[in-house]
Structure 1
Amino acid sequence: MTQDARLADLLERIASALERLAPPPMPTLDLAQADAFVFEAASGRLRPVPRVAAVPLELLCGIDRVADILLDNTRRFARGLPANNALLWGARGMGKSSLVKAVHATVAREVAQPPALIEIHREEIDHLPRLLHLLARQERRCLLFCDDLSFDAGETSYKSLKAVLEGGLEGRPPNVLFYATSNRRHLMPRQMIENERSTAIHPGEAVEEKVS
């Protein structure tokens, strides 16, 4: 084997090794496949949901005021108008998740290009920045949904959630809205706040950071 051939073989092996070390390419999203998806953090892909387990909005009783507010907010978002992120909190079984799915189904029947409903699991909320980065390049509007959102002691993913939605440099993409449900109003257990109050040098500042 000549010197040039050995050099070419060496370069080919180096290139192959670099390809194995390189991160996998970002998945290609096709939001036209369905109106609802589930985000799978391990693969970074959106799994289409052919049929959403939703009940008609008119069957949800006793939450008319909240339903009207959320429906109006979602309609505004679907039409390209300013809209707000929303947290639905209350006791288990009050229809919070059912309301989100029912509102999305109602709006999907009203507009020609409905927003895609994308569920992200609570355990994968720290992957939210990556998901938002993928969705920011899409033309279709996307309604992110996280069911039963809360944070236990020792978790820090709430900081990335807050930064991405409100305080980060990029912020929330204009084509994305975030809805979450929770059994807690402040998303974190009381003992986390009490621990900060008892151990922090400036307890007031530490508590304010967590509550915010």
Structure 2
Amino acid sequence: MTERREPLERIADALERLAPPVQSPVDWLGSPAYVWTGNVAKPVARIETIEFETLRGIDEQKIAVSTNLERLAKGAAAHDMLLWGARGMGKSGLIRAASARLIEKHPGRFALVQVVSDGLSSIADLIDILSKQDRAYLLFLDDLGFAHGQPHENLALRSLLDGTIVARPSNIRLAVTSNRRAIVQRGHEEAAALHERDERDDALALADRFGLTLGFHPCDQGTYLEIVHAYTDPLDLSFDEEEALAWAIARGNRSGRIAYQFANEVAGRSGKAL
């Protein structure tokens, strides 16, 4: 009897090792942020971001985003948001910073949920889960772009924003960042002009479904230097403005990201952490 049981026990042990681990239920009220991968939600203990006040050159955008998130947290009518434009000008940084600021101001009432690209197809399932929670959520889709010839995700998101017979819960709104307002990837010049126009029209139709659309544009020289100072002044670090400008010229772009990189270089030379 014992000899017969031993092989069965070994088989059972092997099957147990092969089986995927049982996922613990997600506490949707316990963390300030989460990452949705499509079938798993990973709690995030702290949102990594720069301070809201450090963001420069986008004052109007800061006011618009923070006001909209405040409404969402309070249960008032709020917009889905599309932040589009120049790379490195603080689109995703603003979403993270404004969310962290709101969470600190209203603990427990609001959470940020970043949806990775693989999670877009199951975002309707995520919304169904969150609709049952007594909390406000901002679903964050960063650097969104749809490939040519693959319109299904575009159409799914359009339907989610505006076009289904089921109303989306008022405690859930979307924030999308993209380098282009049309949210469509460049390239594929060989595609037919009519086909490209149709895809462009579809992408613009998606953009039109956002109640709040904010553009981000390359900063001028003065704003670029102001951003560098915003990082270096709190650390009592000085820098050569001509070198800061040369740093940007060498990278072909003046932006908040480039300003941060230069400030990081200045801090590193002084043995300080930025």
* TM superposition score category, shorter chain reference: 0.7 to 0.9
The size of the alignment, in residue pairs, is: 183
Residue 161 of structure 1 and its aligned partner are, at CA, apart by 0.6
Contact 1:107–1:114 at 8 Å: present in 2 too? Answer: no
- Tell me which of 76, 84, 88 is aligned to 1:89: 84
Residue 136 of structure 1 corresponds to 131
1:26-37 counterparts in 2 under 5 A?
Answer: 28-37=25-34
Residue 45 of structure 1 and its aligned partner are, at CA, apart by 2.6
| Aligned CA distance change for structure 1 residues 207 and 105 (closer, same or farther; 3 Å) | closer
Amino acid paired to 2:77 = P
CA distance in 1, matches of 2:195, 2:89: 36
1:68 lines up with 2:63 in the alignment: yes
Identity of paired residues, percent? Answer: 31
Residue 186 of structure 1 corresponds to 182
Residue 253 of structure 2 corresponds to none
After superposition, give the CA deviation of every residue in 1:118-150 in whole Å (9 maximum; x if it has no partner).
000124312211111111121211111011011
After superposition, give the CA deviation of every residue in 1:173-208 in whole Å (9 maximum; x if it has no partner).
2110100111111101366899575259xx77x754
After superposition, give the CA deviation of every residue in 1:30-70 in whole Å (9 maximum; x if it has no partner).
112211000121xx231111121111110001001100010
Which structure has the greater CA radius of gyration? 2
1:76-115 counterparts in 2 under 5 A?
Answer: 76-115=71-110
CA distance in 2, matches of 1:76, 1:62: 24
CA distance in 1, matches of 2:103, 2:170: 19
- Unpaired segments ≥5 residues, structure 1: 1-24
1:211 lines up with 2:204 in the alignment: yes
1:47 lines up with 2:59 in the alignment: no
CA distance in 1, matches of 2:119, 2:129: 15
| Aligned CA distance change for structure 1 residues 56 and 195 (closer, same or farther; 3 Å) | same
- Equivalent position SS for 1:116: strand
- Unpaired segments ≥5 residues, structure 2: 1-21, 206-274
- Equivalent position SS for 1:167: coil
- Tell me which of 162, 165, 179 is aligned to 1:166: 162
| Aligned CA distance change for structure 1 residues 35 and 193 (closer, same or farther; 3 Å) | farther
CA distance in 1, matches of 2:185, 2:29: 39
CA distance in 1, matches of 2:190, 2:171: 38
**TM-score (normalizing by structure 1):** 0.77
- Equivalent position SS for 2:103: helix
Contact 1:36–1:49 at 8 Å: present in 2 too? Answer: yes
Supply the RMSD in Å over aligned alpha carbons. Answer: 2.6
Structure with higher RCO (Cα < 8 A, 6+ apart): 2
Amino acid paired to 1:80 = G
After superposition, give the CA deviation of every residue in 1:140-177 in whole Å (9 maximum; x if it has no partner).
11111011011011222110111012111214221101
| Aligned CA distance change for structure 1 residues 90 and 159 (closer, same or farther; 3 Å) | same
After superposition, give the CA deviation of every residue in 1:88-111 in whole Å (9 maximum; x if it has no partner).
111211111110011011111222
**TM-score (normalizing by structure 2):** 0.60
| Aligned CA distance change for structure 1 residues 135 and 208 (closer, same or farther; 3 Å) | same
CA distance in 2, matches of 1:82, 1:113: 19
